[in-house]
Amino acid sequence: MPSNDWLHTIPADLYDQLAHCLSLHGMACAELLSRPQEAQLLHLMSLTGLNTMRVAELNAIADHNQLLHTLEQQPHHLYNLMLLGRLSLETSLAAPVLRYVQQQMRIDTAQLQQLKTYCLELSGAFLALLEEHLPTPSLGLHRLQVEEAFGQYIALHPGPEPTAATIRFTEPQLQMMRLALLLVHSLPEAGEHPFLQAVAELAALRPAALEPMIERLGTLEPAQDFAVTMPELVQLYQAMQVCGMVFVSEVLEKVGLGSVFPTVPTDERPASAGAAEPSGRQAVGEIVSGFTRWVQYTFPQEPALQQARQQVLALADAL
């Protein structure tokens, strides 16, 4: 029996089922092979027979007939494209591809994750189909070799910190977060108070460390997805805690905000919560405590946050 007879059994809607999967895996593979061609990447290219030009050809598959033709003429190249794309999608190497897909399809982070999971399931089934029918008895061994070589490449090229959370700030929350970061950024210039000196000892809250986050928040829109890594979440958490401490202490006067957020004397406070709008300091306190409680509830066992919390508690002693 000719080795490609199995192609006649492929459903006529296979391409329609695989279209998004082929596109996503193809883009991920192209992103991988477009990186600087160091020895480990050249080894991968040698194992798979793929290069940027061949990947571009495979990424041009646009209908069922072209898919069948490729499976007949270049089945191993298509197999390797899907394999490398699949491996890449499960690492940070695919981050630029996923951002592009999310923007083009105008989907949120949860929908993007659903799409990625669906495509990975399809590619797993497609690779199994090819492994069953391609006339290469050592294809399983080949896959192990490619996976090992890819693992070696990733070990030498660790990606950025993974996303720990995706936050959507309301307008008041976003303004409060910006205020907190700018306030903490200005503290080194506010004097020699022991509290200020203690804050300056926290690496995440030094001005140079805060500036990238200040820039990111400066262009963020309310309700827009805002992905943060764990170090970034720790930074936001500590900045909000420090901001909260400033607003309930004499340090607020030292940074020149005492007149902007005056303390309401006890005898002038409303008898009930509904009698008047909350003061500026009360509003700040509510937003700060709301965010920090959310962080602590969402990541109760995270070592980095536990350490950050201990550092913040130590700051309280300086007040």
Write the DSSP symbol of residue 296.
H
Average pLDDT over residues 143-159: 90
Task: Give yes or no for residue 286 having a pLDDT over 60.
Answer: yes
Task: Give yes or no for residue 294 having a pLDDT over 60.
Answer: yes
pTM, two decimal places: 0.57
Q: pLDDT (tens digit, 9 = 90+) per residue, 120-142?
A: 999 999 999 999 888 777 888 99
Give me 10's structure tokens: 């492929």
CB 34 within 8 A of CB 70: no
Task: Give yes or no for residue 188 having a pLDDT over 70.
Answer: yes
Percent of the chain with pLDDT over 90: 55
Residue 265: predicted pLDDT: 44
Q: Bigger pLDDT: 248 or 75? A: 75
Quickly state the pLDDT bin for 266 (edges 50, 70, 90).
very low
Largest CA distance in the chain: 95
Rounded distance between C-alpha atoms, residue 9 and residue 19, angstroms? 19
Is the Cα torsion angle 236, 242, 246, 247 positive or negative in sign? positive
